């Protein structure tokens, strides 16, 4: 890596001009080179040439790499607890009932509240042939469940060791 692009502990983004900062921010939001040049304030015929020079600029490239590295570090450090804390903040900040419901829905998803309950039923009192003849109702009774609780069921034969 050329010395000019070597990342240091200081933020290379702070050394950019306002136009360069706007370009970098647009690129990090996923815009292409031309759209990023427009976001940086370029119009007309200068859009393409400005985009090209920004992409070649060691300062701009270093800032983009540094910011991507910083965001990756922050994402890797994010825990389920952090997300839950953020969602609880959203609950407290909700201005409407719809926002409140959306925040609680996301918390429910995070905590797995919408996952169907899985039950594994091991039956040893029947032979394989007898088990194939047992009705669904009888299997539900053995499992302690109700028909309306069942979303999906499957039969798996397990060899005795």
What is the structure's pLDDT at 159? Answer: 66
Q: Residue 8 pLDDT more than 50?
A: no
Answer with the residue of higher pLDDT: 55 or 161: 55
Find how far residue 113's CA is from the centre of its chain: 18
Answer with the residue of higher pLDDT: 15 or 118: 15
H-state helical runs in the chain = 18-28, 33-39, 46-56, 58-77, 80-93, 97-111, 128-133, 136-143
Query: Model confidence at 1, in pLDDT bands (50, 70, 90)?
Result: very low
Q: How far apart (Å, rounded) are the C-alpha atoms in residues 80 and 88?
A: 12
pLDDT one-digit tens code per residue, 30-79: 888 888 899 899 888 888 888 899 999 999 999 988 888 877 655 566 67
Q: Which of 15-19, 33-37, 154-158 has the lowest mean pLDDT?
A: 154-158
The answer to whether residues 57 and 19 touch, using CB atoms and an 8 Å cutoff, is no
What is the structure's pLDDT at 61? Answer: 92
pLDDT one-digit tens code per residue, 63-121: 988 888 877 655 566 677 777 787 888 888 888 888 888 888 888 888 878 776 666 66
Q: Residue 25 pLDDT more than 80?
A: yes
Q: How far apart (Å, rounded) are the C-alpha atoms in residues 103 and 91?
A: 6
What is the structure's pLDDT at 56? Answer: 92
Answer with the residue of higher pLDDT: 8 or 24: 24
């Amino acid at each position: 890596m050329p010395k000019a692009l070597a990342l240091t502990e200081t933020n290379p983004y702070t050394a950019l001009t306002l136009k360069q900062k706007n370009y970098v921010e647009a690129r990090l939001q996923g815009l292409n080179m031309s759209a990023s040049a427009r976001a940086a304030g370029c119009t007309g015929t200068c859009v393409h040439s400005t985009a090209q020079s920004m992409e070649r600029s060691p300062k701009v490239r270093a800032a983009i790499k540094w910011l991507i590295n910083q965001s990756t570090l922050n994402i890797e450090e994010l825990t389920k607890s952090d997300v839950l804390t953020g969602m609880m903040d959203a609950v407290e900040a909700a201005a409407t009932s719809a926002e409140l419901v959306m925040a609680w829905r996301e918390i429910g998803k995070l905590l797995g509240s919408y996952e169907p309950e899985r039950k594994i039923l091991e039956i040893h009192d029947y032979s394989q042939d007898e088990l194939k003849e047992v009705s669904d109702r009888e299997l539900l009774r053995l499992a302690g469940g109700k028909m309306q609780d069942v979303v999906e069921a499957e039969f798996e034969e397990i060899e005795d060791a």
